[in-house]
Structures are given as structure tokens and as C-alpha cells.
Amino acid sequence: MPQIIIGIDIAKLKFDVARLCEGKYKHAKFANNAEGFADFILWLNRFGDTDVRLCMEATGTYSLALAESLTGQGYFVSVINPAQIHAFGRSELSRTKTDKADAKLVARYGLQAQLDRWTPLPANIRCLQAMTRRLEHLLEMHRMEQNRLETADTAIIPSINAVLATLNTELKATRQAIRDHIDNDPGLKQRSDLLESIPGIGHATIPYLLVAMSPHHGYANAKQIVAHAGLAQAIRQSGQWTGKTRLAKNGDPRLRKALYMPALVDWKYNPAIRASCQQLKTNGKNGKLIVCAAMRKLIHLAFAILKSGKPFDPDFSLA
């Protein structure tokens, strides 16, 4: 039986689909709402396929509702990083950019890729993720208003101060809501206490680690979380030429940001990390590289502690 792939291109108000079977396409489009989801499932049922795989790009809230609906109906759904689809399109020298063409492109990608089944995060992790993202948005707005205040005309200073006061209130309430959410969830509370035993890791960082290291992500090892954080090294070498090794940075910038200050603290005070940082400094490495190495070490340490269920041991070695 031929493999059947459904490529889905998501937009805010609609989504285009392309059914690929034996090199032939069937195309349709549906509204990106509950009625459109039901119509799409009826369209799928017309073909009588018993083994079909649906492939879509990760487009945040636009794709989440459809992915959850299809998964709830028992369909095999794979949610792909848009960068992978884009790179695949470039490899095909694709020049056409329409919703219909993109749906076909996603289907062709799904046909040649090793697709993983997507599963939605549990409600408690999704809620925590939403609150941490809201916190970041509030902090960004607060920084913007602070910057405006530095050069503001006296006529608008009261307005800026009023906005800053409101943002400070919301920041305080959001931070408290995050702590309450963790404290009221036994599973999150237990994992939070384990993470808090690590020197330098506090209430500001723990929520981001709880989201990134949720078992439901299916990460098998700490290296995968390092890659998720964008802290993996991008090595550039060809023949006799060796370029600079840089961070990949194609990961979660919020997690990198959350780990920065703890990495600075652990460079000085965490014996499990300090030795390797000092060795890098002795070898002439710059401070930025050393901090990034400490961030990677922190991820490995946090992953090991959560996996073992045992709090931080100062004699523990990551070597």
C-alpha cells in the first residue's frame, strides 16, 4: 500500500492541505476553526485511507488547535520546525511561494523525512509556558518604557510613569501566578525543589527549565536540550580551512536568557562547574565562551538531577 502524506500549510484564518499519493496531489482549503477542522476530517474520510500521516509546520497558536484536534481523532500528526521545511524547499530550488505550493512542499518533505508523532504538552506545562512567555512580553514592554523615559519630554513623563506603574503591578502578579502554579502542582513542585538545590538556580530560572525539561518533550539526553536552547556549537570546517566555532542559536532564546545569570554564579561558586570553567580560562578562552560552556553544564546537571530524582550533590562530577 503506498504511503499517504497530507501536507498542511497553516495561516491565521485558513489552512491549505495537499494529499500526496503515488506522486499525485489532491488539494483543498479549510477555515482555521472548529468547523473547518470537522470539514477537513470529512474530506480525509472520503479517500478511505487507513494509514495516513499529516505533516505541518510549527506556527505557534495558528497550528496548535488543529494539531490537537487531529491528534484527538487518532491521526498521526507530525509538527515540523519551519526552518527544516524552508531548507528542504531551497534544496529543491523551489521558486513558487503560494499557500497551495507550500502545502505540497510540506507533503514532499513528509514523504522523505523520518516523521515523529507529535503529542500535545499537558495542560500544566502549557499553562506554565504561557505565563513565562507573558512575563517576557511584560519585561520587554517595561524596558521599552524605561528607554523612552530617559529621553522623554517633561510633558509625557507622567504618562510613561503611569504605564511603568501598571507594568510593575502586572510583573509582580505574573511572577506570583507562576510561583503559585508550581507550588499547587505536586509534580512541578517536586521537580522545582530538585532544581532549586542547584547553586545559582532560583525562582526566575526554574519555570523555564521546567518547561524545557518536561518529560513530555521526549528528550532522551541533555544534549538534545542543549540543542533546544541553541547552545550547541556550530563547527565550520572544510578541507584545510577551519572557521570560528559559534553557537548555533537556532533554539529557544528565552531559555538561554534564563540560564545566563545562573551560569555566571556557578562559574564562581558551583564546584561541579567551576573547575571546567577555570580550565577554559587557563586555555585562553574568552568570557562569553566560558559562560556558554557553563550554561551547557547547567543543563546537563539539571537533566541528571531531574532524571535521578536526587538533589544537588556538591561532590557530583559532570566530567
pLDDT in the model for residue 289: 86
**Closest by Cα among 72, 70, 74, 76 to 36:** 70
pLDDT in the model for residue 1: 57
Q: How far apart are CA 39 and CA 30, in angstroms?
A: 7
User: Please, where are the H alpha helices in the chain?
Assistant: 34-45, 61-72, 82-91, 99-112, 123-151, 157-183, 186-196, 206-212, 222-228, 253-269, 271-282, 287-308
The grid cell for 255 is 531559555
Q: How confident is the model at residue 271 (pLDDT cuts 50, 70, 90)?
A: confident
The residues pairing with 27 across neighbouring beta strands, listed in sequence order, are: 18
The pLDDT mean for the chain works out to 89
pLDDT in the model for residue 107: 95
Q: How confident is the model at residue 319 (pLDDT cuts 50, 70, 90)?
A: very low
pLDDT in tens, 219-258: 889 898 998 888 876 656 656 656 566 666 677 888 999 9
pLDDT in tens, 2-18: 689 999 999 999 999 99
Q: How far apart are CA 73 and CA 258, in angstroms?
A: 37
pLDDT in the model for residue 163: 97
pLDDT in the model for residue 195: 95
pLDDT in tens, 272-291: 788 888 888 888 888 888 89
Q: DSSP 3-state assignment of 319?
A: coil
What is the DSSP-derived secondary structure letter of residue 245? -
Homologous superfamily of domain range 4-112: ATPase, nucleotide binding domain (3.30.420.40)
pLDDT in the model for residue 281: 86
The grid cell for 71 is 491528534
Alpha-carbon distances of 259 from 6, 123, 159, 226, rounded to whole Å: 39, 24, 34, 11
Q: How far apart are CA 116 and CA 91, in angstroms?
A: 22
pLDDT in tens, 60-71: 788 899 999 999
pLDDT in the model for residue 234: 60
Q: How far apart are CA 176 and CA 159, in angstroms?
A: 26
Q: How confident is the model at residue 81 (pLDDT cuts 50, 70, 90)?
A: confident
Structural domain spans, the chain? 4-112, 123-184, 199-319
pLDDT in tens, 117-176: 998 889 999 999 999 999 999 999 999 999 999 999 999 999 999 999 999 999 999 999
- Quote the crossing angle between the two packed helices 99-112 and 82-91, to the nearest 10°: 90
Does residue 316 register a pLDDT over 50? yes
| Residues 197/304, Cβ–Cβ less than 8 Å | no
pLDDT in tens, 204-220: 999 999 999 998 887 88
